[in-house]
A = this chain, B = another copy of it.
Amino acid sequence: MQSADAKFNKNSLLLALRGYSSAVSDMERTVLLPSMLRDVPTDEAWDCDATEESCRDLYSNYLMLKAIRTTVESSLVLLDDHKAKSNAALDKTLEPLLDTDPETLFHFHLIGLFSVMSDLTKKTQSLTVKYMDIIGVAN
């Protein structure tokens, strides 16, 4: 398995997953009092759904980013867990995917995973910087 390990160490999907894990570790080392993030609004539109009672604050983002890191590191993906987290819009998107050939599906999900990992890594770094602003520490 030595050569297979060497091959996969160069794998940039693995690097993207590691990069995210490392960004969350930095966040955890920096954010010593996560409760200071409570009620601090986020800038992103997706955090605030008109149908929800309250919009997400930075504290719930902090918890979400840590939970995703656990999934990234353990890959303990439970289909039931995913089902609970999925929404109507996403369920609808699955319908045309069922008829798609596996080659196209593979590229679709691989690129999608790269893209969302990059988004989550930036979000983690931005939350860390915001916390430092709140406690008055210069970067």
> Interface size for chain A: under 10, 10 to 19, 20 to 34, or 35 or more residues?
35 or more
A96 in contact (CB, < 8 A): yes
A51 in contact (CB, < 8 A): no
Nearest Cβ on chain B to A30's Cβ, whole angstroms: 19
Residues A100 and B87 in contact in the complex (CB < 8 Å), given A73-B8, A75-B12: yes
Beta-carbon contact of A73 and B14 below 8 Å? no
A77 surroundings in chain B (CB, below 8 A): 107, 110-111, 114
- A90-118 Cβ-contact flags toward B at 8 Å (1 or 0): 10110011011111111111111110110
Beta-carbon contact of A109 and B112 below 8 Å? yes
Beta-carbon contact of B79 and A104 below 8 Å? no
